[in-house]
Amino acid sequence: MNGERYDMDELVGKYITGEATEQEKQLVQEWCAQSAENQKYFDHAKLIYEKAQVDDGHAYDVEAAWKTVKEKITETPVRKLPTIQLWRVAASLLLISVLSYFLYWQFFSAEQLLLVSKDEVITQGISDYASLSLNKGSVAEVTYHERKKTGIIKLIKGEATITIEPDNQVDWLVQTHELFIRDIGTTFNVNAYPDNVLVEVSVIEGEVQFYSNQDEGIFIKAGEKGLYDKSTKQFTKAVADPNVIAYKTLEFIFDDIELSEAIQQLNKIYNKKIVVSENLKTCRLTVSFTDESLETILGIISETLNLTVTDTGKEILLSGDGCP
């Protein structure tokens, strides 16, 4: 973070031996989240280190132990062995491979889940600690380590509402491309469609940190929205839209807003083409809805503003004499 460069071998070693600071732990977790290869390297190093301590049954010098681990997981010169010993070496390697495979999958394997939402909103629980709702046209990947109590939610594209229990004791990290959201027990929405220049994080409850590897970013609280401009690489804050997760809840709060803006939000959620006559676009609307059908919503709006609703089959037209 902050543009500094780090020796990841050293950081991984300090993490595994318990000497890493909180900032260094965070850097290692983010590095592991960047690729499956990084995660595999970390898991393998940790496995070898722990096995070395258990096998010998006595305390190790930390620096010496980590040096031994690094030597085991990097290339070493090949030494020719007498032919008579080859079968013993092969048998030993086979046994170690089998044990390593068993230990890896027993203690370090992760539960992975790919979620794809095409034409409808989907909601998925993640163990007992979190839930994820994907808006239409969104893709996410979830990796959860039950034993290590860590979880990574990668929003590959689209929009998602993420709810994480405040006392779940799991270290969750949300990632979308080069950006990260660290949760502090909350509900928040991430909007990261590929064609949008802005990535938006709106907090419904609690607080999150929104940042990248190069920038500590910003802390966002309930009612706030964090924005990241892909072109300028800058973080800013604004007031969150109260209807940002309406695609999940079907709850709308229209508080003295223009009719055209309210209809634009309804179009997105209900996948309809609703057209407002030019003389009605700036009419002000104050009303709220909870899990209502589009027909009911338009009926109430038409009664409130004295409008006429006409469904032509291709579009729904709102017309009338003007604002009351």
What is the pLDDT confidence band of residue 321, given thresholds at 50, 70 and 90? confident
Q: What is the pLDDT of residues 102-142, one digit of tens each?
A: 555 444 556 788 999 988 999 998 877 788 999 999 999 99
Q: Which residues, at least 6 apart from 102, have a Cβ–Cβ distance to it below 8 Å?
A: none
Q: What is the pLDDT of residues 63-100, one digit of tens each?
A: 555 555 555 555 444 444 454 444 455 555 555 555 55
- Asked if residue 82 and residue 27 are part of one domain, the reply reads yes
Q: What is the pLDDT of residues 259-274, one digit of tens each?
A: 999 999 999 899 889 9
- CATH number, domain of 215, equals 2.60.120.1440
- Asked if residue 68 and residue 81 are part of one domain, the reply reads yes
- Asked if residue 59 and residue 35 are part of one domain, the reply reads yes
pLDDT at 201 over 80: yes
Domain boundary among 239, 274, 295: 239
Task: Please tell me the total count of domains within the chain.
Answer: 3
Question: Does any domain span residue 324?
Answer: no
Residue 12 near residue 44 (C-beta atoms within 8 A): no
Which residue blocks in the chain are alpha helix, DSSP H?
8-16, 22-34, 36-56, 62-73, 83-107, 246-249, 259-270, 294-305
Domain that holds residue 22: 8-107
Question: Does any domain span residue 56?
Answer: yes
Q: CA 44, 51, 104, 29 torsion: positive or negative?
A: negative
Domain boundary among 207, 239, 271: 239
Q: For 186, which DSSP code? A: -
- Asked if residue 84 and residue 133 are part of one domain, the reply reads no
Q: What is the pLDDT of residues 14-24, one digit of tens each?
A: 888 778 888 88
Q: Which span out of 59-68, 159-168, 246-255 was modeled with the highest average pLDDT?
A: 246-255
pLDDT at 220 over 60: yes
- Asked if residue 153 and residue 93 are part of one domain, the reply reads no
Q: What is the pLDDT of residues 311-320, one digit of tens each?
A: 988 899 999 8
- Asked if residue 207 and residue 131 are part of one domain, the reply reads yes
pLDDT at 282 over 70: yes
Beta strands at 316-319 and 308-311: parallel, antiparallel or unpaired: antiparallel
What is residue 95's predicted lDDT score, i.e. its pLDDT? 54
Domain boundary among 195, 220, 239: 239
Question: Does any domain span residue 260?
Answer: yes
Question: Does any domain span residue 132?
Answer: yes
Global pTM value: 0.65
pLDDT at 168 over 70: no
Average pLDDT over residues 300-305: 92
